Amino acid sequence: MKMEADFLLTLLEFMAALFVFVVGLGVIAIIVMYIVDKTQTKQAIRHNFPVIGRFRYVFEEMGEFFRQYFFSMDREEMPFNRAQRSWAYRAAKNVDNTVAFGSTRSLRQTGTTMFVNHPFPTLRSDAVECAEQTIGPGCTSPFRTSALFSISGMSYGAISTPAVRALSNGARKAGIWMNTGEGGLSPYHLEGGCDIVFQIGTAKNGVRDLAGNLSDDKLCEVAAHEQLRMFEIKLSQGAKPGKGGILPGAKVTEEIASIRGIQRGEDAISPNRHLDISSNDDLINMIEHVREVTGKPVGFKAVIADETWLDDLFSNIYQRGSDAAPDFITVDGADGGTGAAPLPLIDDMGLPLRESLPMLANKLIEYGLRERVKIIASGKLITPADVAWALCLGADFCVSARGFMFSLGCIQALQCNKNTCPTGITTHNPKLQRGLDPADKAERVASYAKNLCYEVGMIAHSCGVNEPRELARHHVRVVMENGLSIPLHKLHPTPEARHESIAANG
């Protein structure tokens, strides 16, 4: 008993000493912080309120977390609200996606869209699969696909190795394509066996020579891969039109540097435009050159905000002949996303897809190019309603990056540019990447794509058409400022409709 008592006494003395030591360290730390805060002059809050003022910055960092999980309503958050994310998560997990007791979506807000249900909806026995589309019919190797919704550009480097592997394998399982983004073609893109669209960014990563110029040899080398179906020349992207890609040096590993043809550890900042494309003539020449060298369909991606530019571009193509036209145009809305962009551009530059998509479709109709040029819509399209709406406005295909990030497990932590992504998607920290199992996430990628397309079909059938690409502008209404809705074909009439209206009022 005495030994036990002595042991307990010794333990208590040790714990007391440890407590005093810890408290002492805490006091010393507070004193040091007080001195540091009081003597620095860069932050007024810390200078005027030493130690306590530091909590302001802690609360600022934690604010995003608490708003997302505790305070925001289902439809309040930006860029994606909880209802949108929840749908994507459930679709990726292939679990029940039904809800009860009615919608939480307001139908009174200006800009709200509503699909027009048909009194005699399409029966399941009459529904058909999406018809196969041909992109670049005049090319040596045209691209034939029935894919409706595919993976938009996300560069290897901006996203991690396991993320690229999961997307590649998931794309093959779903029968869709994957865009490389401007970071070049990695072995992980090819690993899954999916169709691939190679994006030529302004730095021409992966198809450049040592001086940064477009290399025909590198183009042929990339095009030789059977999986490589198309080339996309990126003029601009939604989140930062007028600004090139930004990859922090911390993410530029030896492998990424080798794939891109850049220096390891240095910030990879692409020019804000292609140095060899300064006019529409240059753009058309580039499209024709890449198509001639590779034999594959070639198009471009751009944020479209100016009808005058489209008039000039399509007039030029009309004069040269339709063979000079791009095989596709990817139109990105100002509501597109990225891992890193200056706030003035991400907030205030470019037009949203609701304006630019019908603008592009109308101009192609006006110049007789609508059948020749396919439209790919990009920019915040992550739910079935988003995709069905884009099809109504004239899109032939839709692509998404952030939707597929949600399928990988993205929690919208808004740390894409910090190499600290908690889900391992946009970080090269091996410890954080371990939580992203490519095999498991590939299944979720495929399930997300398949469930989205299934529910787009469900919307189409409720509108009375047999397949999604039969959706048209009269199938959607949009709420105006007076609280009442009008059909989209009246808000955005096609050129034929405008001509008929002018003739009728003539």
pTM of the model: 0.84
* Residue 329 burial (CB count, 10 A): 23
**pLDDT for position 256:** 80
Q: Which residue has the tokens 């409706």?
A: 148
Contact (Cβ atoms closer than 8 angstroms) between residue 197 and residue 171: no
- H/E stretch holding 206 reads none
User: Which of 339-343, 450-454, 476-480 is least confident?
Assistant: 339-343
Tens digits of per-residue pLDDT, 78-130?
Answer: 677 778 888 888 999 998 877 777 777 777 888 889 999 999 999 887 777 88
Decide if pLDDT at 69 tops 70.
no
- H/E stretch holding 150 reads strand 149-151
- The DSSP code for 181 is G
Tens digits of per-residue pLDDT, 222-247?
Answer: 999 999 999 999 998 777 676 777 77
CA angle, residues 481, 302, 274, in degrees to nearest 5: 150
Report the alpha-carbon distance of residue 323 to residue 454 in Å, rounded.
35
For 392-395, the CB contacts below 8 A with 24+ separation are 392/471, 392/472, 392/473, 392/475, 392/476, 392/488, 393/354, 393/357, 393/358, 393/361, 393/473, 393/476, 393/488, 393/492, 394/357, 394/358, 394/360, 394/361, 394/362, 394/473, 395/357, 395/361
Decide if pLDDT at 504 tops 50.
no
* Residue 58 burial (CB count, 10 A): 9
Report the sign of the C-alpha dihedral through residues 315, 320, 321, 326, in that order.
negative
Contact (Cβ atoms closer than 8 angstroms) between residue 378 and residue 330: yes
Tens digits of per-residue pLDDT, 367-425?
Answer: 999 999 999 999 889 999 999 999 999 999 999 998 999 899 888 877 777 777 888 88
Helices (H), 175-268: 187-191, 216-223, 254-260
Instruction: Give 108's Cβ-side CA count (13 Å radius).
Output: 1
End-to-end CA distance of the chain: 111
Q: Which residue has the tokens 């040029």?
A: 373
